[in-house]
Chain A
């Protein structure tokens, strides 16, 4: 049974249709990547899953529950964590406060066995310790991605959404960060859905990919298959 399931989802922004009949699923413990060119609809898909965009039709199921009409905060509390493409770090708050943020919120609402998540997250991202007192404003791009990802994990989610986690990272950092993503799954056993425009990056982490083009899923399967299909390859690369 899939952890997350989108069925024929159509999403509009204003009068522009950005997602057409999107049907995807993510299983427990799986790392799935949405691949597509700029403007293909990756972010829109992730936002629709998070509830930031409401589909006009179609259903979204999470843990067998229809969450199509739930607001984002309810989805977060159900176990979907998001690190958005723009990172979304609260610049007024320190790194420590950014990380504690989900705990403060959730503590007021549900009591989850989130006590050791903090330790796990710090084990995955040991650099966080050094950044604790830093203000959100003065983080580098890579540090920001790390904090955003760690913060989403602090929600203790069962599905982690990462929008372009590897974009703009220096080659060495990129490799390290990709390893971290895999480590997240190893340590926490959660599913991860990420979006990437670079298929080579995607291939470093994903078990499975979906290729998105003009708001449609044009392919779903293993990374190797895409690499072999010249037409798909060109589509994803854009040349």
Chain B
């Protein structure tokens, strides 16, 4: 199977995947559900193994996973979530005997500037001899490391929201690069869809967004999408607190003064916590509607005295109560086990790397089962493309260009006595379908952002 895939191929593979993995209801929920024996898809991968080659045995050494992320500075919580999720997956897999008997070890390295990040990636491969990597390395580092990943031929599971600018210049046919998290270009779309869906009569939109490429893009593309979907909405004021700000009072006052119907904020981490606390005191939440694009990253810090009921929050690609625990016990198990491990509710980063590692495991086992030979990285990656993986977020489809997709949850906060933090009111829980947000080649052309053609993202939105 080549890197390029037609829509038909995708559907076929996905269908096979569903046949293969949609099993196990009722018995022993837990990671075991994700470890169901692979069936059904094996024939599609055999092509990559040359006939007549001596089969390769299963290596004795453990599998090493390198997590490259933020382990210092204000984004430390991101690194901790990536690392925590990877160790969670590793422990579960190790408990069940490893991947074809190979145990998993998890290492971590700090990312930073593009140079530092590239260095971390190269050291992981060349010095630590890792088998796969993952982590959120920050949206502006992706393009710097993609060529190295392709050259080093070791799979990397990105968890970051690659900036739109980077996506526009993206390698359209990477083999070793996977994106287990949503891209930047997806988020503003989700925000716009949410606003159109929940506030159809809103006219005045304002923003409080962190002053760097991510925050800027979040606001800009949300407005672009809104201009297309709801031309009557206009941006009345956009404020830009610096990343890591401790004082949002001036921004909140200015925004209140602009009398917006909806306020968009892409503040995240500690910024969102501070913002929310001060916004409560200034009455922002009572006086207008707030849509938080990325506040959910600080999930565990959003206590009830910080976030009042009624704040709309995007959840990227995973919210710990969706799918609902009573309908989907795997998620219940995932949340409970993670809480026992880390005393935290799993953030989307935890789910992302968790599902990435299981996709990897599944691919290795699948190829091995079909060929009797332990696969090379190239074969593993081809087997991950166009597959799907059972995850705590539900089934995640992996496109031919390595994007993991699933419905994107959002909702309005409330104070559930069950939890110490502000959570999403299940009555308001909604999903934006990936088809409205993403651009997998499997989708009808009108919904595809043509990767690799150099087309500007804004032009693509304009073509809807």
Q: Do any beta carbons of A and B sit within 8 angstroms of each other in the complex?
A: no
Q: Which residues of A contact B (CB under 8 A)?
A: none
